[in-house]
């Protein structure tokens, strides 16, 4: 191994080039900082390469395949629909490549140096960056750690040819005939739905009492109805115990309702959570404070207990969301520049690209009550919206949660088609301090799904037009 003779001095070092790291780097450069990014894998991180983007591409391809079979209620019939899954994977890869190359271009256009390698912290102002051939020491004034997270591996389900993490499931060469998904969270539900749309027989094993536990029961119930229509089997209260792998299949033994059951499939997808990438990079040696789970503790400006080291994304508390990481990256970069930016998570949405989509932002009604608010909530159904009916997507609702005293919007939930796009208006409403009246007075184009938000606001005000009072 060749060792660099002299340390290279850096103004701001960003460790990791995922959706948190590369955004932090660009914002830091915009504030006049000289920035270097170190990334041990591909630029774009998990999200762009093996997470958010390729999964949504595969989900969309599954929807297209499902839609290609026609719609009897519309009088549309088709025959002999086929899928070339290798081309699906090629198309998915092309989407990823466009975005990752775009990110590299953005970093370079902002005069940000990109260094390949793994980082190890030597002290509060020094790291060593290593690759297979060399090691180089860098000193920095400030550092933003954005190393992301890794899928949790169950001891009795070691990742292999037939037992997959989300990355493996996204890169299958063929459509499985049978797939077992261990974990009914958002990743398991999304990928399970995607393969079900391609015709795979899917079984979801969830250890808790329900799937999609981060969402309210009336929201997950809609998703479960649609999964049932796709012949997806959901087993809750299920504990995966062991696996037996052969050349072309894998047997899973699980326990549910006091009984031990065995199921055989082509593949098993394990999606039981992720752990932060904070081990073996020298943080303990430097004295960065962490929780028992390995999460780095930060203040409202993403600063650790060491005043020149910041942390963002999956390695700090909160949901492991790409847009949360990007948001925190901007805050950290601006804090280094002396701005008064602080994190406020209340306006951060969470979305599941299920069928139909689910989205939430701010407080749920129960959370608001637990926080001490006196609230009103109301929902308007997709079934009473002309655009939803014309899309043949009438299942779902928009729910608003408002403060009773003044109608201030403090939360919202959407279950239904295009929920992922619709939630942004409600995030804006919370961020800008809007009331239900403000939403009701906003003229929404007709016929659009966006009208459902306006109608929900009118329901909460007691003046609904398109549903009975």
Q: Is 63 a catalytic residue?
A: no
Residue 419 contacts residue 385 (beta carbons within 8 Å): no
Q: CA–CA separation, 68 vs 82, rounded Å?
A: 9
| Of 69, 339, 444, 446, catalytic | 446
Eight-state DSSP code of residue 207: S
Q: Are 119 and 285 in contact (CB under 8 A)?
A: no
Q: Is the alpha carbon torsion for 157, 158, 163, 169 positive or negative?
A: positive
* 363 vs 410: CA distance, rounded Å: 6
Binding residues for FAD: 56, 147-149, 314
How far apart, in whole angstroms, are the C-alpha atoms of residue 18 and residue 328?
Answer: 12
Q: Encoding tokens for residue 189?
A: 């539900």
Q: Calculate ∠ Cα 204-69-167, nearest 5°.
A: 40
Distance CA 356, CA 419 (A): 8
CA–CA gap between residue 101 and residue 55 (Å, rounded): 18
Q: CA 440 to CA 266: how far, in whole Å?
A: 51
In a 13 Å sphere around the CA of 292, the CA atoms on its Cβ side amount to 0
Angle between helix axes 217-229 and 186-197 (nearest 10 degrees) is: 20
Q: Which residues are annotated as catalytic? A: 446
């Amino acid at each position: 191994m060749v060792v660099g003779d002299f340390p290279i001095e850096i103004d701001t070092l960003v460790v990791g080039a995922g959706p948190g790291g590369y955004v932090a780097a660009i914002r830091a450069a915009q504030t006049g900082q000289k920035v270097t990014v170190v990334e041990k894998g591909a630029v774009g991180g998990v999200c762009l390469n093996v997470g958010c983007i390729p999964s949504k591409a595969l989900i969309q391809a599954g929807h297209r395949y499902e839609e290609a079979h026609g719609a009897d209620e519309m009088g549309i019939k088709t025959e002999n629909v086929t899928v070339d899954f290798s081309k699906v994977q090629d198309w998915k890869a092309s989407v990823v490549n466009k975005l990752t190359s775009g990110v590299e271009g953005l970093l370079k256009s902002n005069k940000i140096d990109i260094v390949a390698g793994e980082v190890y912290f030597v002290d509060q102002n020094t790291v060593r960056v290593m690759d297979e051939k060399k090691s180089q020491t860098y000193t920095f004034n400030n550092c933003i750690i954005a190393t992301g997270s890794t899928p949790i591996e169950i001891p009795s389900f070691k990742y292999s040819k037939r037992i997959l993490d989300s990355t493996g499931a996204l890169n299958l060469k063929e459509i499985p005939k049978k797939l077992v998904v261990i974990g009914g969270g958002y990743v398991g539900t999304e990928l399970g739905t995607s393969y079900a749309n391609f015709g795979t027989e899917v079984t979801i094993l969830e250890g808790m009492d329900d799937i999609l536990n981060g969402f309210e029961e009336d929201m997950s119930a809609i998703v479960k109805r649609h999964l049932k229509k796709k012949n997806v089997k959901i087993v809750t209260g299920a504990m995966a115990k062991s696996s037996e792998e052969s050349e072309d299949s894998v047997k899973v033994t699980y326990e549910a309702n006091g009984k031990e059951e065995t199921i055989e499939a082509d593949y098993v997808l394990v999606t039981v959570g992720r752990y932060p990438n904070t081990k073996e990079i020298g943080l303990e040696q430097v004295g960065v404070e962490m929780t028992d789970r390995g999460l780095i503790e930060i203040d409202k400006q993403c600063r650790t207990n060491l005043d020149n080291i910041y942390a963002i994304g999956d390695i700090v508390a909160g949901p492991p969301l790409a847009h949360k990481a990007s948001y925190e990256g901007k805050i950290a970069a601006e804090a280094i520049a002396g701005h008064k930016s602080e994190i406020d998570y209340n306006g951060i949405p969470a979305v599941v690209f299920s069928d139909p989509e689910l989205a939430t932002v701010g407080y749920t009604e129960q959370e608001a009550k637990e926080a001490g608010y006196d609230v009103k909530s109301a929902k308007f159904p997709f079934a009473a919206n002309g655009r939803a009916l014309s899309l043949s997507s009438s299942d779902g609702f928009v729910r608003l949660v408002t403060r009773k005293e003044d109608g201030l919007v403090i939360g919202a939930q959407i279950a239904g088609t295009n929920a992922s796009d619709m939630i942004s208006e409600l995030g804006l409403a919370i961020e800008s301090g809007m009331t239900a009246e403000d939403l009701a007075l906003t003229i929404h184009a007709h016929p659009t799904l966006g009208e459902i938000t306006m109608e929900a606001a009118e329901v909460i005000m007691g003046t609904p037009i398109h549903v009975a009072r």
